[in-house]
Amino acid sequence: MKIVHYINFILIFIFLIAVCVIEENLVSSSLEHVQNQCCEIENYLVGKTSLKETEIVLMVDNLEFDWTEEESKLCYLVNHTSIKDIGYEVSHLKGYITNDDMNAFKVALQAIKFYCHSYMHFMGANVHNIL
């Protein structure tokens, strides 16, 4: 009879590990996607003097739409207050385009990339999540 309890314990433990690994992959891929979009925008900005271009507006619109989609998925996996900083910075990008404030725009992109990079490290699977 004890063997059945040990087998059940092992199966539950393996299930929890699988859930944590799936969570890690979903969170990492979502944050990495947003980070890559920021890098694309930064690469496009090289040599530009003005933000008032259709291509930049479209890239920011895509970033905002994708972040809204990713955020709605991540809210089921992580604490929403942990990822609100990214949404806050994404929402400011359009205002910087309107004001044609290149420096603030670049700082906001750097902040988004920093938050994504930082969150990838502490939102991963660990022993505390499993237990």
Within 8 A by CB and 6+ apart from 129, the residues are 20, 23
pLDDT of 44 > 90? The answer is: yes
| Parent domain of 41 | 27-123
- Whether 15 maps to a domain, the answer reads no
The model carries a pTM of 0.79
Q: Could you give the percent of the chain with pLDDT greater than 70?
A: 89
63 near 37, Cβ under 8 Å? yes
Report in angstroms the alpha-carbon separations of 84 from 68, 107, 113. Answer: 11, 17, 14
Residues 58-77 have pLDDT tens digits of: 999 999 999 988 887 777 77
Mean pLDDT of 89-99: 90
- Whether 34 maps to a domain, the answer reads yes
Q: According to the model, what pLDDT value does residue 40 have?
A: 94
Closest CA to 45 of 111, 114, 115, 110: 110
Residue where the block lists tokens 């990214």: 86
Mean pLDDT of 16-26: 82
pLDDT of 17 > 80? The answer is: yes
Instruction: Give the range with max mean pLDDT: 21-30, 79-88, 93-102.
Output: 93-102
Signed CA dihedral, 78, 79, 84, 86: sign only: negative
Q: According to the model, what pLDDT value does residue 123 have?
A: 61
- Whether 9 maps to a domain, the answer reads no
Mean pLDDT of 73-98: 82
How many distinct structural domains can be found in the chain? 1
- Whether 1 maps to a domain, the answer reads no
